[in-house]
């Protein structure tokens, strides 16, 4: 990655310029047998569409706070970088009543209704399927995002020194995220082409870093696993081998 990168969105732009075809996020859900692999280019396209939805569909502005009521999931990773692209603070498991907007998944939809602003619901179903009927009080992300543009340009420059992420009671700027992600990548021995398997939840910095930011900062990729406890040790070893995993955090 480039030394001049100061936000997570910068990291993604550098990854896209370096090698758009390489894998970035491989997602498993062992409760549904889902496997999704997103190249840098595909991930960046989802981010661009989601950032356009944030900026134009939700009228989000830099400094707005978005409560993310979502688990560790490839779509959550997309939302994190989309927020960074717009300058919106991504508040993991944040208070919806104190947020300008909310994005909620199954099991958190009732909580999200406390948000006075725009609300989006994610089914988190395999293949990004939409809800049969949008939940009351919400727009369906899977309905809204496909029509958004494939390229994104913020209306206002994103300040790397502005708050960008809230998790576990701490708030980080975009520059802090990049610096900590680089330090974590070095500590974990991640380099270009490395594959980190993470089953850590997205409710701490450690989980977010392992599950997205550190691999992105290192030019590596992540194998993000949800409900890994349903997998036998033998099946886990087979996955580590088949996915060419170099580092494991479970």
The confidence score (pLDDT) of residue 3 equals 77
The confidence score (pLDDT) of residue 133 equals 94
Mean local confidence (pLDDT), 224-248:
97
Q: In percent, how much of the chain has pLDDT > 70?
A: 100
pLDDT digits (tens, 9 = 90+) for 6-49: 999 999 999 999 999 999 999 999 999 999 999 999 999 999 99
Instruction: Show the tokens assigned to 20.
Output: 């758009």
Residue 249, strand partner residues:
198
pLDDT at 81 over 70: yes
The confidence score (pLDDT) of residue 241 equals 98
Q: Which domains does the chain have, with CATH numbers?
A: 8-249 (3.40.50.12780)
Write down the pTM of the prediction. Answer: 0.97
pLDDT at 189 over 80: yes
pLDDT at 173 over 70: yes
Contact, 242 vs 192, CB < 8 A?
Answer: no
pLDDT digits (tens, 9 = 90+) for 100-159: 999 999 999 999 999 999 999 999 999 889 999 999 999 999 999 999 999 999 999 999
């Amino acid at each position: 990655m480039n030394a001049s990168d100061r936000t997570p969105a910068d990291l993604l732009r550098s990854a896209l310029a370096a090698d758009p075809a390489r894998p970035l996020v491989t997602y498993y859900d062992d409760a549904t047998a889902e496997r999704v692999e997103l190249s840098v280019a595909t991930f960046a396209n989802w981010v661009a569409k989601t950032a356009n939805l944030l900026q134009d569909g939700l009228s989000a502005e830099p400094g707005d706070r978005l409560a993310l009521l979502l688990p560790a999931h490839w779509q959550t990773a997309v939302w994190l970088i989309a927020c960074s692209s717009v300058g919106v603070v991504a508040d993991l498991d944040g208070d919806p009543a104190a947020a300008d907007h909310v994005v909620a998944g199954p099991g958190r939809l009732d909580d999200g209704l406390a948000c006075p602003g725009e609300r989006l619901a994610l089914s988190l179903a395999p293949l990004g399927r939409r809800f049969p009927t949008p939940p009351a009080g919400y727009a369906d992300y899977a309905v809204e995002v496909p029509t958004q543009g494939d390229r994104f340009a913020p209306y206002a420059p994103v300040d790397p020194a502005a708050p960008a992420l809230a998790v576990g009671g701490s708030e980080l700027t975009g520059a802090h995220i990049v610096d900590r992600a680089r330090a974590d990548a070095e500590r974990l021995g991640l380099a270009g082409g490395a594959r980190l398997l993470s089953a850590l939840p997205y409710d701490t910095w450690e989980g977010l870093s392992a599950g997205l930011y550190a691999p992105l900062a290192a030019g590596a990729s992540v194998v993000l696993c949800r409900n890994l406890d349903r997998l036998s040790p033998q099946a886990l070893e087979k996955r580590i081998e088949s996915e060419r995993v170099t580092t494991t955090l479970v």
